[in-house]
């Protein structure tokens, strides 16, 4: 429930780890909000391209641009950081979990509003936005900011300039979500490292590493590729995670494999 936090489960687990000489990396619990939260604040839920709300019952059902969810995330990250700041068994933090895994795009009302704000900050004027997107083609010219939305279902092709900015915005919104947590954790726990378990779609991982974590890490599941990547030759399927290893080496001077 709102404003009530219990650390008993984590305290017990960390104490057990300490008894075995193990150190702990704590993950912020923002990737799977509980049912009471999504019921009370339905505006935190994400929506698909057609505007269908993604309901509770799985994970990653929250929205990076929901103002209410950002407030709630900041609160829980703050109390976690304060509670464990002096615990020597906790050596670092993992922000969220696999940002943009499963569904890397979002189309809730708050996303449209946030995209409009991003466009205003990026272009300043509708004249410059129209010029950049080439909206004179097919009578796409915008005359009011309230006409600007994320890509929505259309009869035929989307405007390529619009699409490009949509992907840039998606990345920036994801990074801002992580950055809000990073700033809290680093302020309270300046001597503990902060990382994230990537690497997923629609994120500028160089920018994420520079602004929202101390170094990038990743999850290695070659068995998933063997089972799922049927379009690739069988002997080659597990190599896709070698590509992730190469990518993460290029992002920061150190890394971890946080899941395997």
What are the per-10-residue average pLDDT scores of the chain (260 residues)? 91 98 97 95 96 93 96 97 97 97 94 98 98 96 98 96 98 98 97 96 96 95 80 80 86 92
Strand order in 193-198's β-sheet? Answer: 24-27, 90-94, 193-198, 215-219, 257-259
- pTM, two decimal places: 0.93
On the 0-12 / 13-18 / 19+ scale of CB atoms within 10 A, 31 is middle
**Cα 95 to Cα 185: distance, rounded to the nearest angstrom:** 9
Give catalytic residue positions: 98, 259
**Per-residue pLDDT at 231:** 85
**Per-residue pLDDT at 45:** 97
Domain spans of the chain?
8-213
**Per-residue pLDDT at 226:** 79
**Per-residue pLDDT at 61:** 92
Please say whether the beta carbons of 99 and 196 come within 8 A: yes
Classified as helix, coil or strand, 218 is strand
Please say whether the beta carbons of 126 and 142 come within 8 A: yes
**Per-residue pLDDT at 142:** 98
- What would the 3-class secondary structure string for 45-65 be? ECECCCCCECCCCCCCCECCC
Which one is the CATH code of 8-213: 1.20.1630.10, 3.30.465.10, 3.20.20.80, 3.60.15.10? Answer: 3.20.20.80
**Per-residue pLDDT at 227:** 82
Q: What is the pLDDT of residues 89-119, one digit of tens each?
A: 999 999 999 999 999 999 999 999 999 999 9
């Amino acid at each position: 429930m709102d404003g009530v936090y219990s650390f008993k489960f984590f305290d017990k687990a960390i104490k057990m780890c300490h008894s075995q000489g193990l150190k702990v990396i704590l993950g912020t619990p923002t990737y799977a909000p509980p049912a009471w939260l999504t019921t009370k604040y339905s505006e935190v839920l994400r929506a698909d391209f057609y505007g269908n709300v993604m309901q509770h019952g799985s994970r990653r059902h929250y929205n990076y641009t929901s103002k209410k969810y950002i407030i709630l995330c900041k609160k829980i990250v703050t109390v976690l950081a304060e509670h464990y700041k002096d615990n020597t068994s906790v050596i670092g933090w993992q922000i969220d979990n696999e940002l943009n895994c499963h569904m890397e795009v979002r189309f809730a009302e708050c996303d449209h509003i946030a995209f409009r704000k991003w466009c205003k900050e990026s272009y300043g004027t509708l004249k410059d936005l129209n010029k950049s997107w080439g909206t004179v083609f097919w009578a796409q010219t915008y005359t009011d900011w309230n006409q600007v939305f994320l890509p929505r279902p259309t009869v035929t092709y989307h405007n390529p300039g619009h699409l490009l900015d949509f992907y840039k915005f998606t990345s920036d919104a994801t990074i801002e979500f992580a950055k809000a947590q990073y700033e809290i954790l680093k302020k309270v726990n300046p001597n503990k490292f902060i990382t994230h378990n990537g690497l997923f779609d629609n994120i500028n991982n160089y920018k994420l590493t520079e602004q929202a974590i101390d170094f990038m890490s990743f999850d290695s599941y070659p068995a998933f590729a063997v089972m799922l990547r049927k379009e690739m030759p069988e002997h080659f399927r597990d190599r896709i995670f070698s590509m992730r290893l190469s990518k993460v080496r290029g992002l920061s001077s150190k890394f971890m494999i946080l899941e395997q």
